[in-house]
Amino acid sequence: MIVSHSVRGSLSIGPLLYGIQKGFYRQEGIELLYVSIRADLGIKALVSGDVDFIYSAGTGIRAAVQGVPVKVLSMDFTKVFHSLMSRSAITSAAALKGKKVAVSSFGATTDLSARASLRALGLDPTRDVTILPLGGDTVRFAALQSGTVQAAMMSLPLNIQLKKMGYRELFYAGKILHEPLTGLVASSEKIKNNPQQIRKVMRAFMRGMHAFKTERADFISFVQKKFSLTKDVAEEAYDYMVDSLSSNGFVEEAVLENAIQAAKKVLGVNKPVSADDIVDYSFLREAVKNEK
């Protein structure tokens, strides 16, 4: 079974990978494989059945708002972890005018974060900079280092690492974007045809999230090895993550409604969209009940 997200080096997938490493999915009879696929391609692969889940609630919300037959099953982090990072020569927002900014793909969380960050800095994302969709976080990292772009949206822990390397954090998008970031998303077809499989995955996932929250030292040790991090970077990143956790995968109605309205605005969708069009919490409720 395959779960995908657009990132390779971002700690937003840390709890998911930790649960796989701990064997929670295998104990449910699930051999879960994580793969990195660009957000827009991940949605297409989800609908076609080439992947079983994506781990991006934000991407799932935007797809569902457009009428794509997918449902968000959980919402795990509720603040984006992305920083607008620039080369050291870019000392201010004004210095970024006319320059190139890297995101993963248009419409992805990095793209929304970049535009929100640029506006917060007083820049017009459509006129003052050129936004380039370059793919995964490690690709954007390399593009920033090589000078192919002058700024890039980078997530944990790469934003912390870049700061330590002398790059500048022009803006941390988590200050203003409090909306679902990660979370499991499935196609409507899978929900209809394979509910028992989803139940198993959700049970394992909730065990992984519980372990993430209660096993700080072990999780930090895990991500140090998995992502080749120093201990200080891993510890700082963990604190960012804990601060952003939702309550057992649920978010308040107002948070979800804001995310829906924001997606509609960005995507130019005018039709009514309700929470029921976006979310199916039934499997999460079962999994939480089993955890108690």
Residues 231 and 275 in one domain: yes
Q: How many C-alpha atoms does 109 have within 13 Å on its Cβ side?
A: 34
245 backbone dihedrals φ, ψ, rounded to 5°: -65, 140
User: At which of 124, 153, 175 does a domain end?
Assistant: 175
- Would you state the pLDDT for residue 235? 94
Number of domains in the chain: 2
62 contacts 50 by C-beta, under 8 angstroms = no
pLDDT tens profile 31-51: 999 999 988 899 999 999 999
Residues 110 and 235 in one domain: no
The residue among 157, 166, 163, 82 whose CA lies nearest residue 120 is 82
> Whole-number mean pLDDT of the chain?
92
Mean pLDDT of 282-288: 94
Residues 121 and 243 in one domain: no
Residues 165 and 241 in one domain: no
The encoded tokens of residue 97 equal: 């005018």
User: At which of 157, 175, 193 does a domain end?
Assistant: 175
- Would you state the pLDDT for residue 178? 78
Residues 198 and 287 in one domain: yes
Residues 207 and 72 in one domain: yes
- Would you state the pLDDT for residue 289? 86
pLDDT tens profile 83-117: 999 999 999 999 999 999 999 988 788 898 999 99
Instruction: Choose between 82 and 127: higher pLDDT.
Output: 127
Residues 183 and 276 in one domain: yes
- Would you state the pLDDT for residue 200? 96
Residue 269 has pLDDT above 90, yes or no: yes
Residues 150 and 213 in one domain: no
Residues 41 and 97 in one domain: no
Residue 27 has pLDDT above 80, yes or no: yes
- Would you state the pLDDT for residue 225? 94
Question: Which residues span the domain enclosing 93?
Answer: 83-175
pLDDT band of residue 202 (cuts 50, 70, 90) is very high
pLDDT tens profile 120-178: 999 999 999 999 999 888 899 999 999 999 999 998 888 999 999 999 999 999 888 87
Residues 187 and 283 in one domain: yes
Q: What is the CATH number of the domain that holds 169?
A: 3.40.190.10
Residues 57 and 191 in one domain: yes
User: At which of 175, 196, 217 does a domain end?
Assistant: 175
Residues 33 and 149 in one domain: no
Residue 144 CA: distances (Å) to CA of 22, 67, 176, 215: 34, 35, 24, 34
- Would you state the pLDDT for residue 240? 86
- Would you state the pLDDT for residue 292? 62
- Would you state the pLDDT for residue 199? 96
Residue 179 has pLDDT above 80, yes or no: no
The residue among 257, 262, 93 whose CA lies nearest residue 176 is 262
